[in-house]
Structure 1
Amino acid sequence: MTTYNWGMIGTGWIAHEMADALNAVNGQIYAVADVNAEMLNKFADEKNITNRYQNPDDLIADPNVDIVYIATPHTYHYDYIKKALLAGKHVFCEKAITVNARQFDEVQAIAKEKHLILTEGFTLYHMPIFQQVQDLIAAGKLGDIKLVQVNFGSLKDYDPKNRFFNKQLAGGALLDIGGYATAFARTFLNSQPDVTLTTAKYFETGVDEQSGIILKNDDEQLAVMALSMRAKQPKRGVVSGTKGYVEIDNYPRATEAKITYTVDAHTQTTETISAGDDTKALQYEVADMQRYIDQGHDDGQLDRSHDVTHILNNVRNAWGMKYPFD
């Protein structure tokens, strides 16, 4: 595997975790950018990064940067992705990759035109257990998949000024945690849903605090999702078929899946399969990103992000909830 020069934009908590993963996989990080000089230098000192930029545009312009990693608030993703792609850089962006489908379609088209890799930071796309479950389903062990159920509840402190609840920064449960649930659901649906039934409860700032979402596709498969920013739920997904079901707990970084085979109405057998290491979730992301570049394609990852982004867009349209920049 080739080692690439990564340039990081943003120094928040997920960037700290990604920096550790980059150092573990590659042994170094080429550059970092943050508009806050104090945070920039503290982060760079801690993570052993020599090249520091207070202007992210200067990092993007650096000819030695191969991959731009973006860990800013959602509202800045589109601008930095577009600039980086137009500068000929591969891009790894934290979720939500863009705030709406229009932005996504534009950057996806640029990436394909320029033959660049653009990847969204959903850990579940890279955890080894998911490939094992998909192989099991492909082998017919669960029969025909009929229903996917998935929850994500995050208990955020009550703070109307926090970015999680800030409409100007694309706050709300859907873009903060809903992408994970939607990515899980889309992974196990045969085709893109075309029916969306949903309702939301809003926080006082106008963003979605919690919601219920039902999706249906042309294959008559259903996905049922429950999201909340003010009530903790287990991160749990269940995929049900005509011959059994699989339960995956802590699905964003899952390492285990419990399978129940329903032989008939009265007989059930179970097995548990394991794969991967949850402490290496972001290392898997780094390794896959670099593998995508090596092989010249992303195993369909960006197309899955396309479907997820469009589902999220359809949900917001059903609510009639718009951000100021939509």
Structure 2
Amino acid sequence: MSFGGNKMKNYHWATLGCGVIANELAQAMQQNGQNLYSVANRTHSKAVEFAQKYGIKKVYDQIEDVFSDPEVDIIYISTPHNTHIKYLRQALKAGKHVLCEKAITLNSAELAEAKQLAQENHVVLAEAMTIYHMPIYQELSQIISSGRLGALKMLQLNFGSYKDYDMTNRFFNPNLAGGALLDIGVYALSLVRWFMQEKPTQIMSQVKLAPSGVDEQAGILLQNDVGEMATVALTLHAKQPKRATIAFDKGYIEIFDYPRGSKATITYTADGAVEVIEAGSLAQALRYEVNDMQKALAGEPEVMHFDYTWDVMEMMTAIRKQWGLLYPEER
């Protein structure tokens, strides 16, 4: 399917939200020789300040005005998780293409609704998942496809952040869809899905809840129908390295800081030989997403890997169902 335009078109991007990620987006656009077209934010004064910082011409008086602006091609949503579906509905119904921060929705039912709206309005819907766009993962996929590492057996992933024990901040607050799974677990599960041939069909997990009732710590075991397995360890109140080990029968890959990885080490089983693969740059992460989104609008929607986003959301929904963990919007 073609969504019109061509790869050289200067698409008009709007940011919905002006936090850390929005700042990175504005910088990525400037690296591309472009500028954000407009900014929408709940607090108008912050939007004005953001626009001045990056030379953005248009600031909306009301956050909803971005949806009715005929000049806007793409909206990047970077508001809290639990607000995504509200803004996705408005953006997609207005015929806007959307790149939405992870986790794209709270659950698979919300994502199914958003997917349907995107199809009905002939627009691209995608999750801003860095892993799907970092060049290192394209490079590793080619190496794996060559067969020199053999068959995938096991993945082990860690991700731990130390967040202050404040139950009102976004990490622990159920009213802001807090918890380890949607905030950091989405990266680990996206990496699992990138390397596995098929999505996991068997899922077991354990969870430790924070005093607020969201998931503070979790261990997850996954297996798919071809016997590939993964273990995931997540913590929000204890630091862990963002480390991934992907084990094949002829060698294993190690990646540190995998959400924005740029370097991987391959150790071969037969002789212990070590090969270092480097591709891309951490600092360019948002630029890779922007470029791929523009390719999607030019007729290559598969570069956004919505199928993986869908599988990951189904996994996270199933895991939280095991825990009995619902957010206020889901009750």
Q: TM-score range by the shorter chain?
A: over 0.9
Which of 162, 175, 179 is matched with 1:172 structurally? 179
Q: Which residue of 2 aligns with 1:37?
A: 44
- Conserved? CA contact 1:33–1:40, under 8 Å: yes
| 2:308 maps to 1:304 | yes
The answer for unaligned runs of 5 or more in structure 2 is: 1-7
Q: Which residue of 2 aligns with 1:322?
A: 326
Distance 1:69 1:312 in 2: 23
Deviation at 1:300, TM superposition (A): 5.7
| 2:136 maps to 1:136 | no
| 2:292 maps to 1:285 | no
The answer for unaligned runs of 5 or more in structure 1 is: none
Q: Which residue of 2 aligns with 1:91?
A: 98
Q: Deviations over 1:130-180 (max 9, x none)?
A: 011011111111111011111111111221111111101110011011100
Q: Structure 2 matches for 1:1-326, cutoff 5 A?
A: 1-263=8-270, 267-299=271-303, 301-326=305-330
SS at match of 1:146: strand
User: What's the TM-score once normalised by structure 1's chain length?
Assistant: 0.97
Distance 1:54 1:133 in 2: 46
User: What's the TM-score once normalised by structure 2's chain length?
Assistant: 0.95
CA 311–28 in structure 1, closer or farther in 2 if over 3 Å, else same: same
Deviation at 1:316, TM superposition (A): 0.3
Deviation at 1:27, TM superposition (A): 2.1
CA 300–290 in structure 1, closer or farther in 2 if over 3 Å, else same: closer
Paired amino acid for 1:299: V
Count of residues paired in the alignment: 323
Distance 1:3 1:148 in 2: 40
- Conserved? CA contact 1:3–1:26, under 8 Å: no
Compare 158-167 and 207-216 and name the one that shifted more. Answer: 158-167
Paired amino acid for 1:43: F
